Chains A and B, each alone.
Chain A
Amino acid sequence: MTTIIEQVKMFESGESCDEYAESFIEEAKKINKKFYYFTEFCNKSSKRGGALSGIPVTVKDCICVKGVQSRASSAILNTYTPVFNASSVQKTIDEGATITGKTVQDEFGFGGFSVNVGIGFEIPRNPHDEDRVCGGSSGGSAGITAITKHAHFSIGESTGGSIVTPAAFCGVVGICPTYGIVSRYGLMDYANSLDKIGPFTKTVLEGAVALKVLAGHDTKDSTSTNKKIPDYTKITEKSIKGWKIGYIDPEGVEEPIRENLHESIQEIKESGAKTEKITLPISDEYAIPAYYTIALCEASTNLAKYCGLRYGAQEEPKGFFDEYFSNIRSKNFGKEAKRRILLGTFARQAGFRDAFYIKALQARTHIINEYKKIFSEVDAIITPTMPILPPLIKKASELTPLQSYLSDKLTVGPNIAGLPHMSLPTGKHKSLPIGLMITADHYEEEKMMTLGVELEEKNG
């Protein structure tokens, strides 16, 4: 299979970009019949040439593509067609890529298994076992990346683990950079202080190529970084020799996954780096409650705008405006979206606001400080991405909300702290992939991906 880098070279020597895009779309449509990764197909490109010239790119449904229905996989946004491209999409197009489709997700990102798709959407299937979940919330992005025979990448998004979780379950590379590295302009917000955009690819180096395109300052997103973005593609020239890697060996992890972690630890040692077992007690205890409090408070304000008035699902206006809004929202939001709106609204009300929202913000600061302290001692941290193998769709759908929230245990820490993290496939149990998560300090994407390349090589 050709990588993005190889395919761009082939286009330079005469292969047709347009035919390649057509061929990808044809394949994707076929895959979609069985796996339900897409909410929309399109064929959007401008000039060719550039780092991604001719490469077919798919985009998570919550990221706006001009002129293409974009709904965050929610019925409340049915018919909504953005009038502008998200900055990440625009940058991709500017580098010569073809935008080929929108990928399904948990509605507005509200889930870890992609079983919480909106009303009228299909649950995407695991590329290695159709009865199992893809992981979420960027499930469609990870799934298509795993199956396609074409050089391709998908633009995903993570709030609490929505890139690494489906990457682990589908057996692909998912990179979530430091908060602020990739512009959020054009991303339909879940939680503004937590949302991050990043790529899904088959290999780490392809991820580096994609991230290099996506990253950088954007005047349209005031939270985007002013830092100079290094040339991530230089990671293959670097080595981890002499580094110190911290690992977390958490309890309650399924045995094949725990074994896989220890194989990775061994491989790191063989590459000339030291390893050390670490713990993050504050993060362990407070990351999940703090994350859900902040994320849901923010989400409940972000989703207020969806009321059937300016765009999306609409009906003949009847009664007072508040009755109309309630009617549209009741009919079109899925169950999990409603739950999160209610929880978030509750947690920021007078009397609870200080106890929940303000406390959660304080907890976030403590969690960041705990990571900062660890990163003064280690170069990167590894953990299993998920404590479990991809569950059956039926089983995942039956989990209580709390059980479901707890499965984010390992991924929420780096997300709430805004740290770069990635998942790469480091093994298999029977046919099911196992992912390893690497976390690095803020703006240390190069270190993170250097370790990724090293482990990728060991795993062939």
Chain B
Amino acid sequence: MGDSIETKIGLEVHVQINTKSKLFCGCTTEEGEPNNNTCETCMGMPGAKPVTNKKAIDSVIKICKALNCEISTPSFFSRKTYFYPDLAKNYQITQYETPLGKEGFLQVENTKIRIKRVHIEEDPAALEHAGGGTLIDYNRSGIPLAEIVTEPDIRSPEQARNFLKKLINILSYLNVIVPDTTIKADANISNSKNNFIRAEIKNVTGFKEIEKALLYETKRQQEEEVTKQETRRWDGTKTIVMRSKETEDDYGYIYDSDIPKMTFTQEYINKISSSIPKLSDERIRELTKIGVSQEDAKVITQDLFVSDAFEKIAQKSNPATAAKWFRKELLKRLNADEKQIKEVNIEALTEIIKMIHEKTITEHTGRELMTKIYDKNFSPIESIKKTGATMIKDTTTLKKMCEDAIEKNPKAAVDYKKGEEKALNAIVGAVMKETKGTAKPDEVKRIIEEMLTTL
């Protein structure tokens, strides 16, 4: 039944820009004791005035350009007035008529998701409900946020997830957001069955929650009749109708004349554009050309720094082997060790990958060498020389070891001959132990099989 129903989803995504100081004052954006990172401006004291953080503006222009937007010039700030305890001035300085960026798009697989607008605004303070009361922490007040708004071009929750993944990937490549930042989004959802009457889901926090909320709401709208536009919130398991809130038009936007309008020359915009690194789409294309599998390329390009490291290593070794090693070994290890790629001794990593590709060492040995990969003075080649862990290429020696192993495991040999294939593993394992992992398990297995069948 749901198959013929067309769903439309639009997203409004909020991300924190990674500047050192706040958007309109010199206070730090670092975490601190509640209300310590504040001043008269971010506390909304009478007489205080905003002074724009240029770095934050440049970062958002960078986002706009990466999302193929046109830059508004002039662009100015507006006041969005509403009364709420987390809002220091009871108005938020945001953008209305002239967002920094407009009319862009983001290509997600085969679909072009249009970007309606990208603007910059200040974050309100954080509210904490405690001990029957509410506490306000103004440390967050004035932190720069970028709001990225799509047209309702997204067709499913899965596509929304892919869009967000791609978006976060680009933002991290641009180095404009706080790493592992919590993404917040509002979503509007509608479908053809209900004449595209929209429901808005407000303020869903976290990547997974956004997808869950969208899945729930899409399904609900397919099953239920939607007759009027409404605002809903996500409680973790379902969406609930909220008391009808003001629409955007009811905030009584006026220009914030404390802040002069911003104008950008083409030269200025070009300069910012030129600081955008090669993004993942292009990198994936390039990697697959040099023999890296699509799957590996996608995983490697998820992170700019991993991707940069890979490009360096791939130049000196076999790209396909390197890619496999990155995906199967390196990234898992970084994750397990809670380390970052910049902590890795890249030269050592290159040596390991080279030796594996040239079959000088086994993957098993490679894995062992990886335990020292954060040591800046570590040389895998030297280490192998010392331990003699180079792969046994001498078949005579290997055959001798296999013979010995069969002799020591007569029961396993008999079982195998009876047809229990698994019995072979005990003999192979014994050989591997004897060789300290310097033999290739496949090779050992082949030799033993041969020996047992000819016995």
Contact = CB atoms under 8 A, between A and B. Distances in A.
Contact of B49 (A63, A185, A311): A185
A305 B90 contact: yes
A304 B90 contact: yes
A193 B257 contact: yes
Contacts of B51: 219-220, 222
A325 interface: yes
B252 A345 contact: yes
Nearest to B79: A301
Nearest to A180: B260
Interface stretch (A82-90, A136-144, A281-289, A431-439): A82-90
Interface stretch (A36-44, A202-210, A349-357, A374-382): A349-357
Given A311-B45, A349-B252, A304 B258 contact: no
Interface in A283-310: 297-298, 300-301, 304-307, 309-310
Given A192-B256, A222-B260, A223-B257, A307 B47 contact: no
Interface in A210-255: 219-223
A82 B257 contact: no
Interface string A138-163: 00000000000000000000000000
A83 B79 contact: no
Given A222-B259, A301-B254, A345-B252, A64 B47 contact: yes
Interface in B60-109: 79, 81, 83-85, 88-91
Nearest to A346: B252
A298 B47 contact: no
Contacts of A77: 46
A310 B91 CA distance: 15
Contacts of B224: none
A84 B39 CA distance: 10
Interface in A75-123: 77, 80, 82-84, 86
A340 interface: no
Contact of A221 (B49, B250, B256): B49
B254 A188 contact: no
Contact of B81 (A223, A304, A357): A304
A72 interface: yes
A280 B405 CA distance: 110
Contacts of B249: 350-351
Contacts of B430: none
B260 A223 contact: yes
A322 B83 contact: yes
A187 B48 CA distance: 8
B47 A86 contact: yes
Contact of A309 (B81, B85, B91, B257): B85
A125 interface: no
Contacts of B50: 222
Interface in B375-389: none
B253 interface: yes
Contacts of A345: 81, 252
A297 B90 contact: no
Interface in B241-256: 247, 249-250, 252-256
Given A305-B88, A321-B85, A350-B249, A298 B254 contact: yes
A186 interface: yes
Interface in A160-200: 184-189, 192-193
Given A72-B46, A188-B46, A298-B257, A310 B252 contact: no
B453 to A, nearest CB: 84
Contacts of B256: 192
B142 interface: no
A192 B79 CA distance: 12
Interface of B: 40, 43-52, 79, 81, 83-85, 88-91, 247, 249-250, 252-260
11 contacts: A86-B47, A185-B48, A192-B257, A222-B49, A222-B260, A223-B258, A223-B259, A305-B88, A311-B46, A345-B81, A348-B253
Which 5 pairs from chain A and chain B are nearest by CB? A350-B249, A193-B257, A304-B90, A348-B252, A188-B46
Given A70-B46, A187-B47, A325-B83, 16 more contacts: A64-B46, A80-B46, A84-B45, A84-B48, A189-B258, A219-B51, A222-B51, A222-B52, A222-B259, A297-B252, A304-B91, A305-B90, A321-B84, A350-B250, A350-B252, A353-B252
